[in-house]
Every structure is written in structure tokens, then in C-alpha cells.
Amino acid sequence: MNELLMSTPGDHYNWPMLKIRYCTTEAAVAAVLPPGFGLGSRPEVTLTVYNVPVNGQPEQGLLSTVACNYKGQEGQFALGYAIDKEAEIFISQEKFGQPKYPAEIKYFRLMDQIGARVTHQNYTFLEFVGHVTETLDNGPKFDEYEFWVKYSRKASYTETGFDFPPHVVNVVSNYGTAQKLKVEGNLILRDSPWDPFSERLPPESKPETWLWTPEFLGRSVNLGDALDAEAFEPWASTIGNSRWRGSNGGPLQA
């Protein structure tokens, strides 16, 4: 058995991630991608429920991404990290452009049973109930490309624009797999003005779901190229610190 799976029982370092992936429409993905990003090879949404140590303490969260292409590189554009740990939210946004925001996360594995529930602003917008069905092949090591956007809006009540214009942040993570388990279950996406998956990224396919225990081999976070600041302006108002387009940090805007 892999050494990563033989450590002290209950150690948060070895919690598997619940990965949920489904296809939506190309138009839906295009609508959430800011200027400079194109569609990936498939209009996929990936939802990752996790419990990992960050700065020495567990962080439970939901990472939401859509497949994209940036300057020829296939990857994932991060819409948000809904997390239960306030200490990481503001510094992550300010330092990295990582779109973290507060939420309540319930995530458990009991034998072969899996459950997850995510609540934000009193809206439980995601639920999953399922069970493990089989062990899958771990597959080869791989690199994952994720994109954030870092910027600072102009300090003015009347002027638009930026004091620091929008730049892409390139995140490259290097992984192996300690264990991968197939999961069968039911994903429920409920209406929410704060996390509008059911409206803006509705599933068009049955979700593929698995438990993934990663081997963390390396990660780099680097400031990349500037985006067109004028074209990006409509994407600068977001919902609750996420990358969902909104209105002055509040709920839904058409």
C-alpha cells in the first residue's frame, strides 16, 4: 500500500478530494470567462470538495473551475474557492488573486458512503450523496494548470479603472495519485443568487465523480501577462469575492 495511505488515522493530510465533473454548454462557459480566455476542448465544470491543511490548520472548501484555454494552454479558470476558514480569504485574494470566499462546508466519508453540502449566505447551493463502487487505476503523474486574476480597482467613487490593472496568475501544480476511487451518487445544484451554478452552468451530462487522494509533488504561482483592462472592467464586480460576475460584490447581475 502507498506510504501516504498508511499514516496516523485521522490525519487531515490524507483526506481524499471529492471530484465532480460535468459538461455544460459552450455558451455557458464562454459567458463566465473574462476577455483573454477561450473555451477549452470540452465545456466542463469541475467541482472539488476538499479538506487539506493550509498554514498548519485544516481548510474545508469547494473549488469551482471551468475548462479554458489561455494562450494555447488548456487549463482551469477558477470561479471560486468557497472555504470555512476566514484567515485565508483576504490574504489569498490580495496576494495572489485567488478567489476565496466564506462558506459552510460539510464533507464526510464513512466507510463507502460519501456526503457533501455547501452553504453560502444561507443558501445551500450544492449537495452530494454517494458511495464508493470500485478502485480505479492511479494513472501517471500529471501537471494541472489553473488561472486566477489579480487586480486592484481604482480608489475612487466616481472613476472606473484600476490602480493595479488585471493580470493573469499562472498556477501550475504537479501531482501523482495515491488512490483513486469511483463514486456513484447524486449531485444537487440548488438555485442561489450567490452561487448560480444551476442558472449559469447547468449540467448537460451526468456528472463523473471520484475520490482522489493526491500526491503533492510541487506547485508554482507566478504573475503572468496583463489582460485588457477596459474589456475586463465588467468582470471586476463579483459576487461575494468569487469570480462570478455580480454587482459591487453583491448578488446576481445579468
pLDDT digits (tens, 9 = 90+) for 8-48: 766 767 789 999 999 999 999 999 999 999 999 999 999 99
pLDDT digit string, tens, across residues 56-87: 888 999 999 999 999 999 999 999 999 999 88
Report how far residue 15's alpha carbon sits from residue 214's, in angstroms, rounded to the nearest whole number.
Answer: 9
What is the pLDDT confidence band of residue 1, given thresholds at 50, 70 and 90? very low
Task: List all residues 6 or more positions away from 113 whose beta carbon is below 8 Å from its beta carbon.
Answer: 130, 131
High-pLDDT (> 70) share of the chain, %: 93
Grid coordinates of 247: 454587482
Q: Which domains does the chain have, with CATH numbers?
A: 3-227 (2.40.400.10)
Q: How many residues does the chain have?
A: 254
pLDDT digit string, tens, across residues 234-243: 999 999 889 9
Report how far residue 153's alpha carbon sits from residue 237's, in angstroms, rounded to the nearest whole number.
Answer: 10
| Averaged pLDDT of the chain | 93
In this structure, which amino acid lies at residue 67? A
pLDDT digit string, tens, across residues 138-175: 999 999 999 999 999 999 999 999 999 999 999 999 99
Report how far residue 149's alpha carbon sits from residue 165's, in angstroms, rounded to the nearest whole number.
Answer: 10
What is the pLDDT confidence band of residue 252, given thresholds at 50, 70 and 90? low
pLDDT at 254 over 50: no
Q: What are phi and psi of 228, to 5 degrees?
A: -65, 110
Q: What are phi and psi of 122, to 5 degrees?
A: 70, 10
Tell me if 37 sits within 8 A of 169, measured CB to CB.
no
What pLDDT, on a 0 to 100 scale, did the predictor assign at position 181?
Answer: 98
Q: What are phi and psi of 4, to 5 degrees?
A: -65, -20
pLDDT digit string, tens, across residues 190-247: 999 999 999 999 999 999 999 999 999 999 999 999 999 999 999 999 998 899 998 7
| Nearest C-alpha neighbor of 229 from the set 153, 157, 170, 146 | 153
What pLDDT, on a 0 to 100 scale, did the predictor assign at position 248?
Answer: 61
